[in-house]
């Protein structure tokens, strides 16, 4: 499968090399955003008064 993709991509006029660290940076940044989002949601849920939340439902 990899050779098929390589042959298909070699037909394009403009080519660039993608290094492994491009993917690493993307994965790390995604992980940071995910952890920040989950932490912010957990902190907001932890600060909420359960009695007030139940009154509004």
Q: What is the pLDDT of residue 16?
A: 81
Q: Which of 27, 7, 4 has the alpha carbon at shortest distance from 15? A: 7
φ and ψ at residue 52, rounded to 5 degrees: -65, -35
Dist CA 49 CA 52 (whole Å): 5
Question: Which run of H or of E encompasses 45?
Answer: helix 20-47
State both tokens at 15: 């080519």
Q: What is the pLDDT of residue 10?
A: 86
pTM (two decimals): 0.63
Q: Any idea where the domains of the chain sit in the sequence?
A: 16-56
Banded model confidence at residue 1, pLDDT cuts 50, 70, 90: low
Asked if residue 44 lies in contact with residue 50, where contact means CB atoms within 8 angstroms, the answer is no
What SS3 class is residue 9?
helix
Q: What is the pLDDT of residue 3?
A: 81
Give residue-wise pLDDT tens across range 3-47: 887 888 888 988 888 788 889 999 999 999 999 999 999 999 899
């Amino acid at each position: 499968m990899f050779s098929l993709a390589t042959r298909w991509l070699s037909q394009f006029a403009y080519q660039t090399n993608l290094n492994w660290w491009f993917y690493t940076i993307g994965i790390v940044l995604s992980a940071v955003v995910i952890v920040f989002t989950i932490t912010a949601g957990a902190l907001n849920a932890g600060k909420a008064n359960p009695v007030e939340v139940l009154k509004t439902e």
